[in-house]
């Protein structure tokens, strides 16, 4: 039975959904947002993030438009560099092995700056990501890796600001309300069947935007599509993204699209809970491995820790860790680089070993063959090209020579106590496969035609990410395609009377 109606129904309560809602409202539509989570767990994966957003900028003037609060001192003492469209195209192309859909990539990149400016106009504030993306060089903070901007207050701040804007714009949010299926007839989608507690009912709408995440929190789908072993991964974020949006669209004939066997997965504390913990946020991650080595249970290195900036390797190394015996690894550092470790290494909920000698450390690395570990370190230390200077802000080419598993950059000797080691397993962030959309955010069916009245954005859209992912692009994709989907849905609702 139909109990409610609106012009645009937005399914989901993360960054993509809330931007879609704001854009649809801007087109004059009445908008209703369905958030499966209760209010205190609202915000999806977006809330678990650090709020890092990749954006094209051609210098300080652009950044000042996005962040007018930059102080004089920050402007003077920071080398922000630039991040051009070409650089972004190169980065996205390289890490996705040139499989990213070219139309989607172009939209994402060319509209990144304007979309963030638009978000600013909706009350979203940004700031420079000094804590994680800049190092001090010659008295100045220097940004590296193309990731300069974060939402004020990180992911939780982003969701707060979006909700303030949603409220200010007269958009209603129904919490604890799960969309189950889409209502369709020969004219297209006209609403959704939803569940609140044990009560199922229908909501009528002129257009529906699906923005309710991937299938990362559905262990059965993970195993089915990502492959054996993925049921064992920890989920870094929300427990509510179980693939509902993808399923309900496929049920009415939407086309599956993108890298269904691929996902974003990182090194994550070995003893982290099964799903994300909002109090810890993303701090179970351990992303400073480029400055140390990683060993598995057999005491051996298994991956090039310094293949690229961490922004371009972290999202694929979770899978590599999952493939190791017993799905874990230890990251090992010596005291020379401890000051470079990101803040997430200093939280209370960390699985850590510390020792004054390598022999003592070898005994403390739970689950690792100690003799093999010592042999690995000895061989690694011999292979480091110490004549090349170490520089964390560029790919310094200080690698190893002659090792079966090389380390290409930032290779330092492990020789200065105290030594610290951190145990990680695979933390799954989000899945890459999903629905196909066109450049207007319309969901495409298996015949290649748009499904009238149905739009999508965010994690549940496939085609952008394959194999890997450039850091800060998930939020950007949600913002850019959320705005597009919302705008199109608002326009469709206006014509669909």
Taking alpha carbons only, the member of 258, 229, 217 closest to residue 426 is 229
278 contacts: CB under 8 Å, gap ≥ 6: 41, 47, 48, 156
Question: Are 281 and 48 within 8 A, CB to CB?
Answer: yes
Q: Quick one: 59 or 131, whose CB is closer to ligand FAD?
A: 131
End-to-end CA distance of the chain: 21
Using CB under 6 A as the binding rule, whether residue 179 contacts ligand FAD is answered as yes
Q: Which of 36, 122, 287, 407 binds ligand FAD (CB under 6 A)?
A: 36
Q: Is 318 left (phi over 0), alpha (psi -120 to 50) or beta?
A: alpha
Using CB under 6 A as the binding rule, whether residue 458 contacts ligand FAD is answered as yes
Question: Are 66 and 44 within 8 A, CB to CB?
Answer: no
Total number of residues binding ligand FAD (CB under 6 A)?
43
318/51 Cα distance (integer angstroms): 20
Using CB under 6 A as the binding rule, whether residue 318 contacts ligand FAD is answered as no
342/347 Cα distance (integer angstroms): 10
22/18 Cα distance (integer angstroms): 6
Least Å from the CB of residue 105 to ligand FAD = 16
Stretch that binds ligand FAD, among 45-53, 75-83, 120-128, 181-189 (CB under 6 A): 45-53
Least Å from the CB of residue 151 to ligand FAD = 9
Q: Quick one: 57 or 430, whose CB is closer to ligand FAD?
A: 430
Site string for ligand FAD, 250-289 (x = CB under 6 A): --------------------------x-----x-------
Stretch that binds ligand FAD, among 28-36, 101-109, 160-168, 411-419 (CB under 6 A): 28-36
Question: Are 326 and 365 within 8 A, CB to CB?
Answer: no
236/145 Cα distance (integer angstroms): 23
Least Å from the CB of residue 59 to ligand FAD = 22
Q: Quick one: 29 or 33, whose CB is closer to ligand FAD?
A: 33
For the purposes of burial, counting CB atoms within 10 Å of the CB of 236, is it exposed (0-12), middle (13-18) or buried (19 or more)? buried
Least Å from the CB of residue 428 to ligand FAD = 8
Taking alpha carbons only, the member of 481, 407, 454, 431 closest to residue 255 is 454
Least Å from the CB of residue 178 to ligand FAD = 4
Least Å from the CB of residue 154 to ligand FAD = 8
68 contacts: CB under 8 Å, gap ≥ 6: none
Q: Which of 237, 290, 318, 453 binds ligand FAD (CB under 6 A)?
A: 237
Question: Are 324 and 297 within 8 A, CB to CB?
Answer: yes
Using CB under 6 A as the binding rule, whether residue 474 contacts ligand FAD is answered as yes
Q: Quick one: 212 or 368, whose CB is closer to ligand FAD?
A: 212
Using CB under 6 A as the binding rule, whether residue 412 contacts ligand FAD is answered as no
DSSP assigned state of 471: T
Stretch that binds ligand FAD, among 34-42, 116-124, 306-314, 381-389 (CB under 6 A): 34-42
Binding site for ligand FAD (CB under 6 A): 11-17, 34-37, 43-46, 48-53, 178-179, 211-213, 236-238, 240-241, 244, 276, 282, 429-430, 458-459, 472-475, 478
């Amino acid at each position: 039975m139909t109990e409610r109606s609106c012009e645009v129904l937005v399914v989901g309560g993360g960054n993509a959904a809330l931007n879609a809602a704001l854009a649809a409202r801007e087109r004059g539509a009445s908008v209703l947002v369905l958030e499966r989570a209760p209010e205190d767990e609202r915000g999806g994966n977006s809330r678990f993030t650090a709020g890092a957003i990749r954006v094209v900028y051609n210098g300080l003037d652009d950044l000042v438009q996005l962040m007018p609060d930059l102080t004089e001192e920050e402007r003077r003492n920071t080398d922000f560099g630039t991040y051009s469209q070409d650089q972004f195209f190169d980065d996205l192309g390289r890490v996705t092995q040139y499989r990213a859909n070219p139309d989607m990539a172009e939209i994402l990149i060319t509209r990144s700056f304007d979309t963030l400016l638009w978000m600013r106009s909706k009350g979203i504030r940004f700031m420079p990501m000094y804590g994680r993306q800049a190092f001090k060089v010659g008295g100045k903070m220097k940004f590296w890796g193309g990731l300069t901007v974060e939402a004020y207050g990180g992911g939780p701040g982003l969701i707060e600001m979006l909700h303030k804007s949603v409220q200010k714009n007269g958009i209603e949010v129904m919490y604890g309300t799960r969309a189950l299926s889409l209502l369709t007839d020969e004219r297209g989608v006209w609403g959704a069947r939803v569940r609140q507690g044990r009560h199922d009912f229908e909501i009528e709408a002129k257009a529906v935007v699906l923005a309710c995440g991937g299938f990362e929190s559905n262990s059965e789908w993970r195993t089915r599509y990502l492959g054996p072993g993925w049921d064992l991964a920890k989920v870094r974020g929300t427990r509510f993204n179980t693939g509902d949006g993808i399923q309900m669209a496929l049920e009415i004939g939407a086309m599956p699209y993108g890298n269904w066997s691929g996902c974003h997965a990182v090194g994550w504390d070995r003893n982290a809970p099964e799903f994300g913990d909002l109090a810890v946020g993303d701090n179970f991650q351990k992303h400073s491995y480029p400055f140390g080595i990683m060993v598995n249970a057999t005491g051996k290195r298994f991956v090039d820790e310094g293949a690229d900036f961490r922004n371009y390797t972290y999202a694929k190394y979770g899978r590599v860790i999952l493939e190791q015996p017993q799905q874990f690894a230890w990251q090992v550092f010596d005291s020379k680089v401890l000051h470079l470790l990101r803040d997430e290494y200093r939280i209370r909920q960390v699985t850590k070993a510390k020792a004054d000698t390598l022999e003592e450390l070898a005994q403390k690395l739970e689950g690792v063959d100690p003799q093999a570990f010592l042999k690995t370190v000895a061989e690694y230390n011999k292979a480091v090209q110490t004549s090349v200077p170490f520089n964390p802000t560029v790919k310094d080419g200080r690698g190893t020579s002659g090792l079966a598993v090389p380390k290409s950059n930032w290779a330092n000797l492990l020789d200065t106590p105290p030594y610290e080691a951190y145990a990680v397993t695979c933390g799954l962030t989000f899945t890459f496969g999903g629905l196909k959309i066109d450049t207007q955010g319309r969901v495409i069916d298996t015949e290649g035609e748009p499904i009238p009245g149905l739009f999508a954005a965010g994690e549940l859209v496939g085609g952008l990410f394959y194999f890997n992912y450039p850091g800060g692009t998930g939020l950007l994709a949600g913002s850019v395609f959320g705005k597009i989907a919302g705008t199109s849905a608002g326009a469709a609702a206006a014509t669909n009377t």
